[in-house]
Amino acid sequence: EVQLLESGGGLVQPGGSLRLSCVGSGFTFSSSAMSWVRQAPGKGLEWVSGISPAGGDTPYADSVKGRFTISRDNFKNTLYLQMNSLRVEDTAVYYCARKTSGAAPFDYWGQGTLVTVSS
Amino acid sequence: EIVMTQSPATLSVSPGERAALSCRASQSVSSNLAWYQQKPGQGPRLLIYGASTRATGIPARFSGSGSGTEFTLTITSLQSEDFAVYYCQQYHNWPPSTFGQGTKVDFK
């Protein structure tokens, strides 16, 4: 059974930092492209960043470029999102999601972790 | 960036009835269109990809159609577990992959 388990969310002040993690199991993590997708309270889905299976390709949404960094450790089956210079508008549930290739749907999603940016 | 527009925002349906949800792309995405279902407190679940192919384990009452810029998700004979929010997503021009704003299917 495929599982994606996010962690690391919490309350942080504007300008602060947070690192999210997502552990994958039940599939070959090292062969899967991964992404972070977020959902602000009561809003729709917004793709944040993605990473290729080997980690060499890491696109970002314009809204987070220069502030967030995506990475992965294929030995630990873990995806990361380092979030710096956080803003109130970054408040959202952050989901990790898997897809089989670059241009493909997200076939598995985690349950999400809530990030709240507030003073 | 391709903009995805879903309609209606809310669809009120009775159990056993048919629901048709629309999704329009601002430019052609060919058949690179997916539909997801999301229930409160849960991550989205992939229903349809390639505009019309059901994902693993998805019941036959869910079907997708369309290509280019106009797409439809049809749910025949709605069950109680189908009341949720549905999102379309294009993955034709990536990055970024873009989602519609969602259609909530609720009880009439």
Quote the CA–CA distance of B14 and B105 in Å, as a whole number: 10
Mean pLDDT, chain B, as a whole number? 96
Cα–Cα nearest to B90, from B80, B99, B103:
B99
pLDDT tens per residue, range A63-107: 999 999 999 999 999 999 999 999 999 999 999 999 987 789 999
Q: What is the pLDDT of residue A100?
A: 81
Quote the CA–CA distance of A23 and A40 in Å, as a whole number: 22
Share of chain B above pLDDT 70, in %: 100
Q: How far is CA A56 from the centre of its chain?
A: 16
**Which B residues in the span 2-41 are in contact with A, Cβ-Cβ below 8 Å?**
32, 34, 36
Specify the residue for token string 């508008």. Answer: A89
CA distance to partner chain A, nearest, from residue B91 (Å)? 5
pLDDT tens per residue, range B16-60: 999 999 999 999 999 999 999 999 999 999 999 999 999 999 999
Q: Which two tokens stand for residue B102?
A: 């969602």
**B102 has pLDDT over 80:** yes
Q: How far is CA B100 from the centre of its chain?
A: 9
- Taking an 8 Å cut-off on Cβ atoms, the answer to whether A44 and B94 are in contact is no
- Taking an 8 Å cut-off on Cβ atoms, the answer to whether B87 and A44 are in contact is yes
A–B CB contacts, 8 A cutoff, strictly below:
59
Q: How far is CA A84 from the centre of its chain?
A: 14
What's the CA angle centered on A46, arms B47 and A74, to 5 degrees?
Answer: 80
CA distance to partner chain B, nearest, from residue A5 (Å)? 11
Cα–Cα nearest to B3, from B93, B64, B76, B86:
B93
pLDDT tens per residue, range A37-72: 999 999 999 999 999 999 999 999 999 999 999 999
Quote the CA–CA distance of A9 and A63 in Å, as a whole number: 19
pLDDT tens per residue, range B9-22: 999 999 999 999 99
B19 beta partners: B75
Quote the CA–CA distance of B107 and A8 in Å, as a whole number: 36
